[in-house]
């Protein structure tokens, strides 16, 4: 287990140390749950009152919050306690599973694939024809990557994930378990006799930027003619559906179980709440937010927050909900 | 195929046999679909009228229901016909797939992992460093279990399931296909320059009790500091999302495609309907029920049934729906 | 890359060629995005105005739409431009990943399984006891197929898919990545002492017709006594849940993240919109449509379109939404 003095922690965070503690710090935890060898954090004024009862040996505090050091319980002032906490969580992270062999002998790798120096391929994984794996990539066991795909430097791919042919994946991405990238889009036409359905082939692919994270069991389908695209820094939670030909800008967030039908466009920084769904061919402009559980059926202007089903301006929807309750309780 | 006399079935169920049948019983089925070699069951008075036309050679009947034996068609009285049916389904279950070799030679097992006597590990599965597999565990082919995880006795893990590092799984659990246990929680902070998102490392784990069942393609994320916890006897359906730091009490039920955002607490015996979603940091107290398709945004008291989006008392929501329809049809 | 003359394309489509082009055609694309070596298509009058600015060297046009050839830019008249486009997408499709070895030596195949001539089994896949794989079947790497299952001719199974014991799969089907077929249905009874839940064994199976497609990470559970059934030509999108004992007629469509609880019946040609969910024991009759995001709690007559939660006649629901908005904006 890692262990640090309060001075070492202060140096890591470039903070201002007030008071002192003789305790060795072995972890971090919330104000109420922290034990004497853990450090805690206070990022909001409403939590300051819990500091006096906290057993933590130290607290990381945002600079605009007033909190005093106690006996043998120090305070570290930082610009933003939340960011400092994220940094410390990294410091206290256990090591991820290690590979004792860079390329496991049970992995099946096509002779035309390129595995860069320092990339690691886990047991029983499959790497197809002409796949290009950049340096620092980690492919955990039981992953399948198909022909002509490219995986950028330092990207991590967890077990069960399948990356279909011709996918282009950026650097520093994380794909959690059982993700599906690049399956056929969902498109059919009634057959000429009207009695069946004709499958529309999808000959496009998926293109994913840098620093993108895709949660467990999420799906991103390939485009019909061209590409389904996720911009740099997009963060996708578990069980999310992204249909064919969707285009996501930079740093979009999609929470768990949400979904985009085909050809949806998200501007930069769009946030989609959990279980929300967006109709096909809809555009949600930069910085807009869609509330959890909403169903969006028309375009959303930049910066706007929408809510409900069918989704409209969030304040308006809250008023509608109040009005509906009043019909019953008047 | 298994085959039993009516006396043998009666002994298995500890019931009261009325009438007789010479038929050999080879299976069980619903009243309307049963064939002459099948036994049926009547657990509710509303179904008794179908008994006179049923071809079943016998019926299992709850003790409070009046049903008479017919010629060569017996009746077995039991306390609860539904429980007796569940028991008989077990009796008539085909054997699960068997392993001819306890530990398949293609499984990749780290030398520090402990595989107890009688545990079975299927083809092409991966077992990481220091993993502890108790007796009677069945790991089907193509499963991945990562470092320092513990799997309790007699737990069954189906193909495609991935259990990430440091997960603690109880005894007698079932994980269906392609489940994801212990992936990173979904948490980011805006970066200091406001232009990107900083990943919050999740250093916690997942702790699952005994007799828990997790359906196909469901996801349970690890905690941020501490553990995401499922109590004994929880039953989770397919495609369910359970976010980081959720805590579920005993015997909670979550139906298909439902989801809990981060830090949701469910008391004992909570029931979440299909496709329902629960906002983060919400507590649903013991015995409460959430109707299918609902969106819960605030705490739910013990024993209460809520419905709708945003969810409120179910009778109240039904009245709101009626009132809304009347606006149009007055 | 494939390349065709306009005459060759015209022959493939059995169309009527008007005008000519000397360009070699190497792909197809939408009117606005097509480059000079691509062919485009016009299936609706509202798009005809974009033809004059399109760089495409040719357009495929439905016979009822007036569009004229331009200099070195030909027109091919066909009965239905959309169907012709689907056909051409097939012509321009890159080859799917090829197998250099029909049955990969790392696949684990039980000695009692039957692999027909010309079937292909990928690396690290598992084929159980008595499984029957018909001719032309493609099983990609890391697939698991359990005992006594049957896979019909020319069916394709992508990586990560798990097919549980006794499943019967038709011909010409496609299973995308990480699909789960035949896991236990979700059924429990309170235990006699009221303190726990008793699992109801599911001894049925899954039966799937011909030309069925199942999207990535979707789940189809086995029946309790009998079978969960999908009729010929059903098309199921990603992350879809189909519960135990559901019966789908011919050519039903279920869009992404939608779900059927247990024992739902869909007539022929039913269309379920994205993220919609259907209560257990509900029947949706032939040709009915359920709007995206809807929650269906009662039977739907043939041919009807329902919408909303709880779902009702779509025009009625639209009126309710208008009435609700008017409560606020009057």
DSSP B194-246: SSSEEE-----EEEE-SS-EE-TT-EEEPPSSSEEEE-TT-EE-TT-EE-TT-
Chain centroid to Cα C62, Å, comes to: 25
Chains that touch B (3 or more CB pairs under 8 A): A, C
For the question of whether the overall pTM of this predicted structure is more than 0.90, the answer is yes
Res A251 pLDDT > 90: yes
Q: Do C215 and A183 touch (CB under 8 A)?
A: yes
SS3 B49: helix
Q: Identify the sign of the CA torsion A118, A119, A125, A128.
A: negative
SS3 content of chain A, % helix, strand, coil (to 5): 15, 30, 55
> Are residue C224 and residue C305 in the same domain, yes or no?
yes
Q: Do A106 and C104 touch (CB under 8 A)?
A: no
Q: If we measure between CA atoms, which residue out of A118, A129, A123, A120 comes closest to residue A107?
A: A123
> Is B1 within a domain?
no
- Strand A295-296 with A271-272, pairing: unpaired
Tell me if chain A has a CB within 8 Å of the CB of B257: yes
Q: Identify the sign of the CA torsion A123, A128, A133, A137.
A: negative
Tell me if chain C has a CB within 8 Å of the CB of B19: no
Tell me if chain B has a CB within 8 Å of the CB of C268: no
| Minimal Cβ distance to C124: which of B124, B158, B253 | B124
Q: Do B243 and A256 touch (CB under 8 A)?
A: yes
| Minimal Cβ distance to B189: which of A28, A86, A174 | A86
> Is C155 within a domain?
no
> Are residue A165 and residue A84 in the same domain, yes or no?
no
> Is B198 within a domain?
yes
Length of chain B: 330
Q: Do A178 and C217 touch (CB under 8 A)?
A: yes
Q: Do C261 and B177 touch (CB under 8 A)?
A: no
Question: Which of chain C's residues have a Cβ under 8 Å away from the Cβ of B141?
Answer: 108, 126, 144
Q: Do A200 and C85 touch (CB under 8 A)?
A: yes
Query: For position A2, what pLDDT does the model report?
Result: 80
Chains that touch A (3 or more CB pairs under 8 A): B, C
Tokens 């055609």 label which residue? C25
Query: For position C253, what pLDDT does the model report?
Result: 98
Q: Do A261 and C292 touch (CB under 8 A)?
A: yes
Q: Do B124 and A104 touch (CB under 8 A)?
A: no
CA distance to partner chain B, nearest, from residue A231 (Å): 12
Q: Identify the sign of the CA torsion B29, B31, B32, B34.
A: positive
Distance CA A59, CA A17 (A): 10
CA distance to partner chain C, nearest, from residue B30 (Å): 8
β-sheet bridge partners, residue B241: B219, B259
> Are residue A201 and residue A295 in the same domain, yes or no?
yes
Nearest CA in chain A to C210: A196
CA distance to partner chain C, nearest, from residue A267 (Å): 20
Q: Do B160 and C178 touch (CB under 8 A)?
A: yes
Tell me if chain A has a CB within 8 Å of the CB of B253: no
For residue C310, say if its preceding peptide bond is cis, omega within 30 degrees of 0.
yes
Q: Do A129 and C27 touch (CB under 8 A)?
A: no
Q: Give 10-residue mean pLDDT values along chain B (330 residues).
A: 91 96 93 93 92 95 94 95 92 88 96 96 97 98 98 98 98 98 95 88 96 98 95 98 98 98 98 97 98 97 97 97 90
Q: pLDDT 10s digit of each residue in chain C, 330 long?
A: 689 999 999 999 999 999 999 999 999 998 988 999 999 999 999 899 999 999 999 999 999 999 999 999 999 999 999 999 999 999 999 889 988 899 999 999 999 999 999 999 999 999 999 999 999 999 999 999 999 999 999 999 999 999 999 999 999 999 999 999 999 999 999 888 888 899 999 999 999 999 999 999 999 999 998 999 999 999 999 999 999 999 999 999 999 999 999 999 999 999 999 999 999 999 999 999 999 999 999 999 999 999 999 999 999 999 999 999 999 986
Q: Are A300 and A284 in contact (CB under 8 A)?
A: yes
Question: Which of chain B's residues have a Cβ under 8 Å away from the Cβ of A97?
Answer: 128-129, 146-147, 165
> Are residue B65 and residue B207 in the same domain, yes or no?
no
**CATH number of the domain within which B19 lies:** 3.40.1390.10
Task: Give which of B104, B108, B191, B226 to mutate to test A binding, by max A Cβ within 10 Å.
Answer: B108
> Is A138 within a domain?
no
Termini Cα distance of chain A: 61
The domain containing residue B38 runs over which residues?
6-92
Res A116 pLDDT > 80: yes
Q: Are C59 and C38 in contact (CB under 8 A)?
A: no
> Are residue A69 and residue A168 in the same domain, yes or no?
no
Of the candidates A57, A76, A92, which is a domain's last residue? A92
Render pLDDT for A194-234 as a digit per residue (tens, 0 to 9). Answer: 888 999 999 999 999 999 999 999 999 999 989 999 999 99
What tokens does C127 get?
A: 């084929």
Question: Which of chain C's residues have a Cβ under 8 Å away from the Cβ of B238?
Answer: 180, 183, 186, 219, 221, 241
> Are residue C301 and residue C168 in the same domain, yes or no?
yes
Question: Which of chain B's residues have a Cβ under 8 Å away from the Cβ of C319?
Answer: 328
For helices B314-329 and C314-329, the axis angle rounded to 10 degrees is 90
Tell me if chain B has a CB within 8 Å of the CB of A97: yes
CA distance to partner chain B, nearest, from residue C17 (Å): 50
> Are residue A167 and residue A309 in the same domain, yes or no?
yes
- Number of domains into which chain A is organized: 2
Tokens 């828990």 label which residue? B212
Tell me if chain A has a CB within 8 Å of the CB of C237: yes
Question: Which of chain B's residues have a Cβ under 8 Å away from the Cβ of A159?
Answer: 126, 144, 162
What tokens does A138 get?
A: 């980690």
Tell me if chain C has a CB within 8 Å of the CB of B3: no
Tell me if chain A has a CB within 8 Å of the CB of B314: no
Tell me if chain C has a CB within 8 Å of the CB of B325: yes
Q: With pLDDT > 70 as the criterion, what percentage of chain B qualifies?
A: 99
> Are residue C61 and residue C201 in the same domain, yes or no?
no
A&B contacts, CB < 8 Å: 174
What tokens does C120 get?
A: 């292909």
Of the candidates C60, C92, C124, which is a domain's last residue? C92
CA neighbours closer than 13 Å in the CB half-sphere of residue C200? 19
Q: What is the mean pLDDT of residues A87-102?
A: 90
> Is C47 within a domain?
yes
> Are residue B58 and residue B205 in the same domain, yes or no?
no
Residue A234 dihedral angles phi and psi, to the nearest 5°: -65, 140
Select which of A110, A172, A244, A285 is catalytic. Answer: A244
Tell me if chain C has a CB within 8 Å of the CB of A298: no
DSSP C108-147: EE-TT-EE-TT-EE-TT-EE-TT-EE-TT-EE-TT-EE-T
| Minimal Cβ distance to C241: which of B89, B124, B238 | B238
Q: Are C142 and A126 in contact (CB under 8 A)?
A: yes
> Is A241 within a domain?
yes
> Is C327 within a domain?
no
> Is A27 within a domain?
yes
Q: Is C181 exposed, middle or buried (0-12, 13-18, 19+ CB in 10 A)?
A: buried
Q: Identify the sign of the CA torsion C143, C147, C149, C150.
A: positive
Q: Are C206 and C182 in contact (CB under 8 A)?
A: yes
CA distance to partner chain A, nearest, from residue B165 (Å): 7
Q: What residues of chain A, 145 to 174, have a C-beta less than 8 Å from chain B? A: 158-160, 174
Nearest-5° Cα angle at B290, A275 to C195: 130
Q: Do B160 and A178 touch (CB under 8 A)?
A: yes
Question: Which of chain B's residues have a Cβ under 8 Å away from the Cβ of C139?
Answer: none
Tell me if chain B has a CB within 8 Å of the CB of C177: no
Question: Which of chain C's residues have a Cβ under 8 Å away from the Cβ of A197?
Answer: 233, 235, 251, 253
| Minimal Cβ distance to C183: which of B80, B215, B325 | B215
Tell me if chain C has a CB within 8 Å of the CB of A221: yes
Query: For position C300, what pLDDT does the model report?
Result: 98
Question: Which of chain A's residues have a Cβ under 8 Å away from the Cβ of B318?
Answer: none
Reported ipTM: the value is: 0.95
| Catalytic status, residue C285 | no
Question: Which of chain C's residues have a Cβ under 8 Å away from the Cβ of B28?
Answer: 225
CA neighbours closer than 13 Å in the CB half-sphere of residue A44? 4
Select which of C202, C244, C281, C285 is catalytic. Answer: C244
Of the candidates A58, A76, A92, which is a domain's last residue? A92
**CATH number of the domain within which B269 lies:** 2.160.10.10
Query: For position A329, what pLDDT does the model report?
Result: 83
CA distance to partner chain A, nearest, from residue B39 (Å): 40
What mean pLDDT, rounded, does chain B reach? Answer: 95
Q: Do C277 and B255 touch (CB under 8 A)?
A: no
| Minimal Cβ distance to B89: which of C142, C200, C295 | C200
Res A60 pLDDT > 70: yes
Distance CA A157, CA A144 (A): 10
Length of chain C: 330
Indicate the Cα dihedral angle C281, B215, C240, B160, nearest 10°: -150
Q: If we measure between CA atoms, which residue out of C168, C181, C135, C173 comes closest to residue C157?
A: C173
Distance CA C203, CA A67 (A): 62
Q: Are C302 and C285 in contact (CB under 8 A)?
A: yes
B&C contacts, CB < 8 Å: 174
Q: Which distant-in-sequence residues (6+ apart) come within 8 Å of B324 by Cβ?
A: A324, A327, C320, C323, C324
């Amino acid at each position: 287990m890692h262990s640090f003095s309060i001075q070492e922690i202060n140096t890591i965070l470039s903070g201002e140390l007030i008071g002192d503690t003789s305790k060795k710090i072995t972890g971090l935890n919330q104000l109420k749950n922290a034990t004497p060898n853990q450090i805690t954090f206070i990022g909001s004024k409403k939590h300051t009152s819990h500091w006096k009862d906290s057993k933590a040996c130290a607290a990381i505090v945002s600079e605009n919050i007033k909190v005093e050091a106690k006996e043998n319980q120090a305070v570290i002032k930082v610009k933003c306690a939340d960011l400092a906490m994220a940094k410390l969580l990294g410091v206290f992270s256990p090591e991820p599973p290690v590979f004792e062999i860079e390329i496991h002998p049970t992995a099946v790798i096509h002779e035309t694939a390129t595995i860069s120096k320092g990339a690691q391929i886990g047991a029983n994984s499959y790497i197809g024809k002409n796949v290009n794996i950049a340096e620092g990539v980690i492919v955990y066991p039981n992953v399948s990557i198909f022909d002509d795909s490219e995986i950028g430097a330092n990207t991590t791919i967890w077990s069960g994930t399948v990356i279909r042919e011709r996918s282009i994946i950026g650097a520093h991405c994380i794909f959690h378990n059982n993700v599906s990238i690049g399956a056929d889009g969902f498109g059919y036409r009634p057959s000429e006799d009207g009695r069946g359905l004709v499958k529309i082939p999808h000959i496009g692919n998926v293109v994913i930027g840098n620093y993108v994270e895709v949660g467990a069991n999420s799906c991103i389908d390939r485009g019909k003619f061209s590409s389904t695209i996720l911009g740099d820094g997009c963060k996708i939670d578990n069980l999310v559906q992204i249909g064919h030909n969707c285009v996501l800008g930079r740093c979009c967030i999609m929470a768990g179980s949400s979904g985009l039908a085909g050809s949806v466009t998200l501007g930069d920084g769009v946030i989609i709440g959990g279980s929300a769904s967006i109709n096909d061919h809809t555009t949600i402009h930069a910085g807009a937010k869609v509330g959890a559980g909403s169903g969006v059926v028309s375009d959303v202007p930049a910066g706007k927050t929408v809510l409900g089903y069918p989704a409209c301006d969030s304040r308006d929807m809250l008023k509608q909900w109040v009005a509906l309750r009043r019909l019953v309780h008047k």
